[in-house]
Structure 1
Amino acid sequence: MSISAQAVDVVYGRPAAGVQVRLQRRISDLGRELDDWLTVDETETDSDGCIKDWTAERFGRGPYQIVFDSDAYFAMLGLSAAYKEISVVVRLADESDSCQIQVRLAPYSYSMDFGFRG
C-alpha cells in the first residue's frame, strides 16, 4: 500500500513547492472508526510539488486523510486564500492498493485528481 501526492499552483502554472502537508490515519477503537485523526507524518512538497517520501512506506488498511495547508502556501506568496486547508480522505483496503492524489491550487478554488490502483 502506498500514497503519493502532488500540488500544482495554477496561478503561476508551476509545481507548488513548499506546501506543508499532513498525512493522518483515522483512529479506531475495537474495529470501529472514530472521528479523530492521528498524524502519521508531516512534510512539505519538494521542488516538483511532490511528496515522494510516502511512496516507500507501507501503510495498513483503513482511512487516511491528506491535508494540504493552502493558507500558509499562499501567504508565503503574498496572497490570501479563501480556505485554510484542503483535506482529501481515502481508504486503503488491500495490501496492493496504491493511490495518487494531485491537487491544483488557486487562492479561491482548487480541484483534485485521484488515481487508485488496487
Structure 2
Amino acid sequence: MEAQDAVYGRPAAGMEVRLERMADTQWMLDGKSEIGPEGFVREWLTLDLSRGLYRVVFCGERYFGALGLSSAYPEISVMFRMLGDQDASAYKIQVWLSPYSYSTYFGSRI
C-alpha cells in the first residue's frame, strides 16, 4: 500500500491506513498502520492475502487537516479482490491524493 501527497509531491507520511477484508457480510479489520516516510506501509509487504474481497482505507481528513487543509474525502476506500492465495508483496496499490481528488493504481510489482 502506497500513498503519495499530490499537493506537495511527496509521500503521505503519517497518514493512517486500515486493511479490511469481507467476512460473510461485514468488513473485518486485518491491520491498522500509517504510511511511512518512504510512502508505504512497510510491515504489510509480507502479508499473505487469501482469496477474497479486501479494502484499504486511507484517512484523508486527518492527514490533510494536520496540514491545515480541509478535505472533501474524509476517507478514501480502495476495494480489491484477491483471486487466489498470494503473497501481498507481489502486488501494489498506489494512491495519489489531494484534498479534492485521488487516483488509484493496482498492479504487479514484478
Query: Among the aligned pairs, what percent are the same residue?
Result: 46
Q: 1:25 aligns with which of 11, 21, 25?
A: 21
Q: Kindly report the root-mean-square deviation, in angstroms, between the aligned alpha carbons of the 2 structures.
A: 1.6
- Please state how far the C-alpha of 1:75 moved relative to its aligned partner: 0.6
Question: Which has more radius of gyration?
Answer: 1
Of the two structures, which has the highest relative contact order with CA contacts closer than 8 Å and spacing of 6 or more? 1
How many residues matched?
A: 108
Q: Given the alignment of the two structures, is residue 102 of structure 1 paired with residue 94 of structure 2, yes or no? A: yes
- Please state how far the C-alpha of 1:91 moved relative to its aligned partner: 0.8
- Please state how far the C-alpha of 1:52 moved relative to its aligned partner: 1.8
Give unmatched runs, 5+ long, in structure 2: none
Distance 1:104 1:95 in 2: 27
Instruction: Letter of the 1:63 partner, please give it.
Output: L
Structure (1 or 2) with the greater strand fraction:
1
- In the alignment, what sits opposite 2:54? 64
- In the alignment, what sits opposite 1:31? none
Distance 1:106 1:23 in 2: 21
Instruction: Letter of the 2:23 partner, please give it.
Output: I
User: Secondary structure at 1:113's aligned position in 2?
Assistant: strand
Give unmatched runs, 5+ long, in structure 1: 29-33
Could you tell me whether the CA contact under 8 Å between 1:18 and 1:49 is conserved in 2? no
Distance 1:64 1:77 in 2: 29
Distance 1:77 1:16, change over 3 A: same
- Please state how far the C-alpha of 1:64 moved relative to its aligned partner: 0.6
